[in-house]
Structure 1
Amino acid sequence: MPDDIRARRRAGTGLGVLLALALGAVLLTALPDDGEREGGAACGPRTVGSWSAERALTDEFARYGDDPSRADDWTGGDGTHSVRLPDGRLLWLFSDTYLGQVHPPPNPFGESSTWREGAAPLVRNSAVVMRDGRLESTLPAPLFPDPAPGQWRWPVAAHVEPRSPGAPERVLRVLLWVRAAGPSPWIYGVPVATEVATLSLPDLRVESVVRVADQQGVPDPSRRVLYGTTLVEEDGWTYVFGGDDRRAASRPVSRAYLARVPRGRLGEPDAWRYWDGSGWG
């Protein structure tokens, strides 16, 4: 059976298990202390301390993904990120996402499992709202439309911050990776740029998308850097971590990168500063 058809018939349950494993992992991430930031000893690597399956979360995604009552909601996705909203809701962000319906067993492939039709809609990104541990709704998908033919946006880290420094109003800012279709080895797309989307709160309406780090001028795609693998706020700065795609081009290792932005200015390209190993450029 072709791999694409096999993948399409899977229900949300499988994703939920993977999601639980990823969320159960205890990842230790830290910024260097003041001395290290100014060129002192490099911070040591961090490793996974432990992990365990989050059964309640797995079951909730299985319930929501396998619900056959709607034809326009999430039934499975990858590239999972989440962000807590000021009103207590949790917003789940996904990259490639299946919509449509999931059907109960038996399925036409002869297995006793739920199944998804081969013509199920696939979008490049989606967002699902959770309240008090229960998934409520899928926002209109794709939430972030393709920037150009042959290109798409994958959401990564997200952060609630003031609309501008010191402003009382808060907004949600979502880091986006822009990729473009390309030949092997770029099976996940050629890196193009990092963007920042601003969403209003509490209605989660996309107000704008701004390109903050365009990489199209870097000739070697494996050296193009995308930001947003994760982020952390400290001392009035938002630190944004990123990386390149050297391993996609069979290089030994990919490299990590770091940028920082004053709190409230993630959507301003001129406010971004990049660590070059000895200072912020």
Structure 2
Amino acid sequence: MDRIRKRRLVRTGLLLSPLLALVAVLVLARPGGDDTGQDRARDACAPLTVTGWRVDAAMTGEFARYGDDNTRTDDWTGGDGSRSVRLPDGRTLWLSADTFLDRVHPETALGGPSRDPSPVWVRNAGVVMAPDGRLERTLLGPGPGALFPGLAAADGREVWRWPAQGVVEPRRPGSSERVVRVLLWQREEGSDPWFFGIPRATEVATLSLPDLAVESVEPIDVPAATDPAQRVLYGTSAVREDGWTYVFGADERTAQGRSSRAHVARVPDGSLADRTAWRYWDGRAWSADPGAAAPLPVGAAPGEDPGRGASNTYTVTRRGDTWLLLTTDAGGPDGRGMTTVTSYWACSPQGPWHGPSDALTPPLPDGGREAGAVVYNPQAHPAFSGGGPHGGRALPAGADLLLGYDVNVTQSTAAVQRDVELYRPRFVRLELSASR
């Protein structure tokens, strides 16, 4: 059981991570008012915690098999920011942020499998998994380039997009046609303290079905704050429920040595790409003004350190009427934010969120500790959880939960080229138990 910390990759020779601020603490806000129907949800839900876990060697191994296959050398061999979207025909679209392509060399007595010291890489990609669980192909742009192409700032600095969570929804409200919507984080090349990019905007990409062609990228929110640390980007998690998609996000005050804060918005089905349809939780009600958004009440248990909370790349899912938030334990005692995934539960997406409860310390690959590897970005994949496919909706009682996490060596890109397992997602299955 090894440390959980955020990696940092430097661009042009060292990749930038979409999750560099993982060790940020989310400020613990006091609960706001209840939304209509919240009392009903509270009556139905119960405390939910992680009571056990086991390694999912099959899913971890499938990514290793696909990454090591040199049938093509213009496809995925490693990446981070890993999230999944179950498609209507049973396939799954996996979304990847900074992604290595190129050839993988077989394992030798000196180690590996390995990549060349300076492999081809792109800012984002998609990987398609067949209904039988076999990864089949990588989605890229021309070049090969990023699936979601970047831009350039007025002064020529790079502007790129990192994919966050995606969902399948109607093309427009009431439509029978389905499309994939992918939340994107737009970032701009910056300097200290913004080595991982200055946050610029939340966007939504639309992909057609079944061919997964990128049709458009629409701006959703361009934060008005002049201080980049105050800008909230949405999409670390998204959950569909009762005709709405709840989209979770956080600000980035950690870059200035302060704690970050979680937020949530909701959008009617079929409207994720329509910025006028978004409503932001302001602590009492859902507001059309993103500037009115209030921090979520994600808090430490009574009597514990009030600075303890979630990271800015948390994940949210549901079982029954209980909402579950999983995160690295940012702000935990004795540096536990570097080692432990914790959980919070709530009866509504806007909270209050109760916890934390310890969940697990995700294991590193063999040799990971010696190489200085870290794990980060725990993400739930409910469509792969026990009890059958759930399409991002609530898990049934008794279902386990597939949780993925990313691995990297923060101080050495050379290390992740010498051993490709040090920059690939890994998976565990969580046992969940409710109490009343």
Residues 27-62 of structure 1 deviation map (CA, whole Å, 9 limit, x = unaligned): xxxxxxxx7325989x99986554332100111111
Matched with 2:81 is: 79
Q: How far apart, in 2, do the equivalents of 1:116 and 1:189 lie? A: 26
In the TM superposition, what is the alpha-carbon distance from 1:208 to its structure 2 partner?
Answer: 0.5
- The 1:225/1:53 distance shift into structure 2, 3 A limit, reads same
User: 1:200 corresponds to which residue?
Assistant: 208
**1:259 shift after superposition:** 0.8
Tell me, which stretches of 5 or more residues in structure 2 are unaligned?
1-8, 15-32, 288-436
CA drift at 1:254: 1.2
Partner letter of residue 183 of structure 1?
Answer: S
Identity %: 57
Name 2:349's counterpart in structure 1. none
Secondary structure of the residue that 1:61 maps to in structure 2?
helix
Structure 1 residues 39 and 262 mapped into 2: Cα distance closer, same or farther (>3 Å)? closer
Residues 88-143 of structure 1 deviation map (CA, whole Å, 9 limit, x = unaligned): 0011000000001111133xxx8222111123111000100011111101112411
Aligned to 2:65: 63
Find the counterpart in structure 2 of residue 249 from structure 1: 256
Alignment counterpart, residue 234 of structure 1, candidates 232, 238, 241: 241
Structure 1, unpaired ranges of 5+ = 9-34
Aligned to 1:111: 110
CA contact (8 A) 2:165 2:183 kept: yes
TM-score (norm 2): 0.53
Equivalent residue, structure 2, for 1:278: 284
Distance (whole Å) between structure 2 residues aligned to residue 232 and residue 79 of structure 1: 17
Aligned residue pair count: 245
RMSD: 2.4
What is the DSSP-based 3-state SS (H/G/I as helix, E as strand, rest coil) of the residue aligned with 1:37? coil
Matching of residues 1-281 of structure 1 within 5 Å? 36-37=34-35, 50-106=52-108, 111-131=110-130, 132-141=132-141, 142-148=146-152, 149-215=157-223, 217-251=224-258, 253-281=259-287
Q: Distance in 2 between matches of 1:231 and 1:257?
A: 12
User: When the two structures are superposed, what TM-score results if normalisation uses the length of structure 1?
Assistant: 0.81
- Which piece of structure 1 moves more, 139-148 or 154-163? 139-148
1:270/1:49 CA distance change after superposition, 3 Å: farther
Question: Do the aligned partners of residues 50 and 221 (structure 1) sit closer, same or farther apart at CA in structure 2, a change above 3 Å counting?
Answer: farther
- Contact 1:173-1:267 within 8 A present in 2 as well: yes
Q: 1-side partners of 2:120 and 2:114: how far apart?
A: 14
- Structure 1 residues 95 and 48: alpha-carbon distance in aligned structure 2, compared to 1, 3 A threshold: farther
